[in-house]
């Protein structure tokens, strides 16, 4: 097996943080992974590296999941069932589906990362979550090397959450994800305000999958930094859910506070608004800061350390807690 030594992980994480892996290996097949796990169980997994902040060198063996391939399992008149290996790039997969007229994930265009990690945080954007199209996740159990399957229900999906962030955390290597997508009669989701505005501005009344994908790409490009140019990990915090009572008290003090109803007793408040109101939007502290167009995104301008970005996140959490009595939960994995 080709284990490399003292490798910089800068190009393996979208934050572009330069920490070192003492030992590093890329695996390109399930078989290779199973062979590796026979001799090495204390591993650190890296895939697209799009949801992690690396604050220190990694002493464990870093295993880069690079298993590629897409297969069509079956199809009928309306639906197509596909299995996609973990190392496929998410956005390239979305674009391929759009080009084949397979519907269901077009709203999730341009999300960084690989297919193998999309179930972990149940990626979501513009009114769609990936859980709505996933039928099955395959994984290798690290302890036994056995191939196991999780049905959609067993994944226990929630808002930016799944079993892989909870009971199953650290126990499995996700190797493939299976999807059910539509071939016609697509269930288009264009209700998100920004998508409607984008389509209207282009005079598109009956959008195709490609029109929606293009609209999402345009919206994301206008608000979110491209990780190839400015290191980032998308939304650094989750949008907090608070009680209706707490929200009403806050509304008395801050009449403009935006919100989305979650249930009769709970309300979601955009973390981006709380951070912007706290004065952090667009603030730059040398090599790191808060993105100028979306306050939920922390950025590395080039040479920041993970520790510096984590300290900024803690400062933001404290300021928001002091002003609004709301705890912001970090969405990104801090390593």
- Site for ligand EPU, rule CB under 6 A: 125-126, 223, 234-235, 238-239, 258, 270, 272-273, 276, 281, 294-296, 331
Of the pair 138, 198, the CB lying nearest ligand EPU is at: 198
Which is closer to ligand EPU, CB of 13 or CB of 235? 235
The residue behind tokens 């079993």 is: 163
Annotation says 178 is catalytic: no
Catalytic hit among 160, 162, 220, 233 = 160
Helices 209-223 and 193-201: crossing angle, nearest 10°?
110
The DSSP line for 7-24 is EE-GGGSTT----EEEEE
Is 331 tagged catalytic?
A: yes
235 as an active site residue: the answer is: yes
Beta bridge partners, 58, equal 21
Given 88, 129, 198, 331, the catalytic residue: 331
Please name the residues in contact with 189: beta carbons below 8 A apart, sequence gap of 6 or more: 107, 126, 127, 128, 212
Is residue 198 classed exposed, middle or buried when 0-12, 13-18 and 19+ CB atoms within 10 A define those classes? buried
Q: Which of 50, 233, 235, 278 is catalytic?
A: 235
Which of residues 162 and 239 has its CB atom nearest to ligand EPU in the complex?
A: 239
**Which CB sits closer to ligand EPU, 30 or 269?**
269
Q: How far is the CB of 24 from ligand EPU (least distance, A)?
A: 26
Cβ distance to ligand EPU smaller for residue 116 or 175: 116
Which among 91, 94, 64 is positioned nearest to 82, based on CA atoms? 94
The least CB distance from residue 240 to ligand EPU, in Å, is: 10
Q: How far is the CB of 71 from ligand EPU (least distance, A)?
A: 28
Q: Which residues make Cβ contacts (< 8 Å) with residue 193, sequence separation at least 6? A: none
Tell me the closest approach of the beta carbon of residue 114 to ligand EPU, in angstroms: 15
Q: Which of 260, 251, 270, 245 is nearest to 320 (CA)?
A: 270
CB environment 204-215: b (16+ within 10 A), e (fewer): eeebebebbbbb
Least distance (Å) between residue 126 CB and ligand EPU: 5
- Kindly list the catalytic residues: 160, 235, 331
């Amino acid at each position: 097996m080709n284990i490399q030594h003292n490798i910089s992980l800068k190009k393996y994480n979208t934050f572009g943080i330069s920490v070192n892996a003492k030992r590093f290996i890329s695996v390109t097949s399930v078989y290779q992974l199973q062979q590796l796990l026979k001799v090495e169980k204390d591993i650190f997994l890296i895939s697209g590296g799009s949801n992690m902040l690396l604050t220190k060198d990694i002493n464990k063996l870093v295993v880069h999941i690079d298993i590629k391939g897409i297969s069509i399992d079956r199809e009928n008149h309306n639906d197509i069932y596909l299995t996609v290996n973990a190392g496929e790039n998410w956005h390239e997969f979305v674009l391929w589906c759009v080009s084949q007229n397979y519907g269901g994930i077009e709203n999730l265009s341009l999300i960084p990362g690989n297919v193998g990690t999309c179930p972990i945080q149940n990626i979501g954007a513009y009114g769609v979550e990936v859980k709505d199209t996933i039928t099955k996740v395959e994984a290798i159990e690290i302890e036994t090397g056995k191939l196991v399957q999780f049905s959609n229900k067993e994944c226990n999906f929630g808002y930016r959450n799944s079993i892989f962030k909870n009971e199953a955390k650290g126990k499995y290597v996700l190797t493939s994800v299976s999807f059910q997508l539509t071939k016609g009669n697509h269930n288009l989701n264009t209700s998100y305000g920004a998508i409607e505005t984008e389509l209207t501005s282009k005079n598109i009344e009956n959008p195709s999958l490609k029109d929606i994908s293009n609209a999402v790409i345009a919206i994301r490009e206008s608000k979110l930094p491209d990780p190839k140019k400015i290191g980032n990990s998308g939304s650094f915090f989750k949008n907090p859910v608070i009680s209706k009572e707490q929200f009403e008290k806050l509304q008395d003090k801050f009449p403009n506070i935006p919100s989305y109803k979650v249930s009769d007793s709970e309300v979601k408040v955009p973390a981006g608004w709380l951070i912007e109101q706290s004065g952090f939007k667009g603030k730059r502290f040398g090599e790191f800061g808060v993105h100028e167009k979306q306050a939920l995104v922390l950025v590395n301008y080039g040479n920041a350390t993970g520790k510096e970005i984590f300290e900024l996140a803690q400062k933001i959490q404290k300021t928001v807690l002091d002003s609004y009595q709301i705890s912001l939960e970090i969405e990104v994995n801090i390593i």
